[in-house]
């Protein structure tokens, strides 16, 4: 499904599966882009190959945000970094993740006879921590899994209202540099034959436009912490590893069923839900249909993306 009108963020599902690769789905990795900012949410094995078929170049990547250190969310990192280095990347790369990310990254970068040619900065994120990368703001929350795990809320700053060209001309503000300053929120002065008049942005701009927001659960059992973190987001990406007939498996391994993901989306009042991370037991063609049906019976605006599917997120 493509979301139209004034796109603010692009989401590319590089990998959408759980546990291990199948013929249809690579392990989880999601690329987010806004303007010139590009980040990854998780980095399952084979992510660098998936990126070859996506609009996102490894050498344009600013940061990787890891939710937890299970292999299907992390094993793609060393290969991706080697690919970047061998392709002459020079810009630093930021890597964020939960407790243990620093030692895991050290092991990942020393497990082979390889020396990165660019700087890699690693930072632990704790629930409640925030960071800004380029145009994207990130807030970490606590996920409910069987290892230390994070969920993320990603959002854009609010933008100025739309510029009213007709109103600016009516007021006598000459087109050009002054219009640009007004759009940036600056007050300007115009000389009318010796009489100077002052114009504020509010005179020519519409109401502020709220930036879009995305929630990403990582791996988690149903969680009030995650629900609170993702309240009212425009798009929620939530794991749905099993259907409800396997809810005991979900509890045992710290996962959610499709129904539980949909219930959380409804409680959090999100606009759209994309379920990911289906168990490989659903790899046979047609076997995933019950996941989507189960979720849509509770939350109709639910979608099950394919690998390499990209969508645009708007208000």
Say what the pLDDT of residue 115 is: 87
Does residue 189 contact residue 101 with C-beta atoms inside 8 Å?
A: no
What pairing do the DSSP bridges indicate for beta strands 136-142 and 130-133? antiparallel
Q: How far is residue 256's CA from residue 247's CA, in Å, rounded to a whole number?
A: 8
If pLDDT is split at 50, 70 and 90, which confidence band does 3 have?
Answer: very low
Q: How far is residue 79's CA from residue 8's CA, in Å, rounded to a whole number?
A: 30
pLDDT digits (tens, 9 = 90+) for 107-155: 999 988 888 999 999 999 999 999 999 999 999 999 999 999 999 999 9
Say what the pLDDT of residue 286 is: 84
| H helices, E strands: number in the chain | 10, 16
129's CB contacts (< 8 A; 6+ apart) are 139, 140
Mean pLDDT for 229-237 is 98
- Which residue carries 């921590």 as its tokens? 129
pLDDT digits (tens, 9 = 90+) for 178-225: 999 998 889 999 999 889 999 999 999 998 888 899 999 999 999 999
Burial of 303 (0-12, 13-18, 19+ CB in 10 A): middle
Does residue 188 contact residue 199 with C-beta atoms inside 8 Å?
A: yes
Say what the pLDDT of residue 114 is: 86
Say what the pLDDT of residue 7 is: 55
pLDDT of 5 above 70: no
72 is catalytic: yes
Q: 156 — phi, psi (to 5°)? A: -100, 150
If pLDDT is split at 50, 70 and 90, which confidence band does 2 have?
Answer: very low
Mean pLDDT for 24-28 is 96
Give start and end residues of each alpha helix (H) in 10-53.
47-52
Does residue 3 contact residue 314 with C-beta atoms inside 8 Å?
A: yes
Torsional sign, CA 82, 87, 88, 89: negative
pLDDT digits (tens, 9 = 90+) for 241-286: 999 999 999 999 999 999 999 999 999 999 999 999 999 999 987 8
Report all structural domains of the chain as residue ranges with CATH numbers, in order of start: 9-159+209-313 (3.60.15.10), 165-203 (no CATH)
Q: Structure pTM?
A: 0.89
Say what the pLDDT of residue 61 is: 97
pLDDT digits (tens, 9 = 90+) for 40-67: 999 999 999 999 999 999 999 999 999 9
pLDDT of 1 above 50: no
Q: Comparing C-alpha atoms, which of 154, 149, 103 is closest to residue 126?
A: 149
Residue 281 backbone class (left: φ over 0; alpha: ψ -120 to 50; beta: rest): alpha
If pLDDT is split at 50, 70 and 90, which confidence band does 4 have?
Answer: very low
Q: How far is residue 45's CA from residue 120's CA, in Å, rounded to a whole number?
A: 19
- Which residue carries 């020396």 as its tokens? 115
Number of Cβ within 10 Å of residue 245's Cβ equals 10
Greater model confidence, 300 or 114: 300
Q: How far is residue 299's CA from residue 225's CA, in Å, rounded to a whole number?
A: 20
Q: 238 — phi, psi (to 5°)? A: -130, 140
**Cα–Cα distances in angstroms (integers) from residue 1 to residues 8, 40, 54, 292, 302, in the given order:** 16, 21, 17, 14, 10
Q: Which of 42, 72, 219, 234 is catalytic?
A: 72
């Amino acid at each position: 499904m493509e979301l139209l009108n004034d796109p603010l963020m692009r989401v590319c599902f590089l990998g959408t599966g759980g546990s291990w690769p199948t013929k249809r789905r690579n392990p989880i990795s999601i690329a987010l882009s806004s303007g010139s900012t590009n980040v990854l949410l998780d980095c399952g094995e084979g992510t660098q190959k998936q990126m070859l078929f996506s609009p996102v170049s490894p050498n344009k990547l600013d940061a990787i945000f890891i939710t937890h250190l299970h292999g299907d969310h992390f094993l793609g990192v060393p290969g991706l970094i080697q690919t970047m280095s061998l392709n002459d990347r020079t810009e630093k790369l930021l890597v964020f993740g939960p407790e243990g990310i620093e030692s895991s990254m050290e092991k990942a970068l020393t497990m082979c006879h390889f020396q990165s040619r660019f700087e890699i900065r690693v930072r632990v994120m704790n629930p409640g921590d925030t960071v800004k990368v380029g145009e994207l703001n990130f807030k970490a929350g606590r996920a409910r899994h069987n290892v230390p795990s994070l969920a993320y809320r990603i959002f854009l700053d609010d933008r100025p209202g739309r510029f009213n060209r007709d109103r600016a001309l009516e007021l006598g503000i000459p087109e050009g540099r002054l219009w640009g300053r007004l759009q940036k929120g600056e007050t300007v002065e115009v000389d009318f034959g010796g009489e100077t008049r002052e114009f504020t942005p509010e005179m020519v701009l519409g109401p502020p436009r709220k930036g879009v927001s995305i929630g990403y659960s990582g791996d988690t059992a149903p969680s009030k912490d995650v629900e609170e973190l993702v309240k009212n987001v425009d798009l929620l990406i939530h794991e749905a590893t099993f259907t409800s007939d396997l809810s005991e498996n979900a509890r045992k391994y710290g996962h959610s069923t499709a129904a539980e993901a949909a219930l959380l989306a409804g409680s959090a009042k999100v606009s759209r839900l994309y379920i990911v991370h289906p168990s490989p037991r659903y790899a046979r063609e047609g076997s995933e249909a019950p996941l989507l049906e189960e979720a849509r019976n509770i939350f109709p605006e639910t979608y099950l993306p394919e690998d390499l599917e990209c969508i645009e997120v708007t208000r």
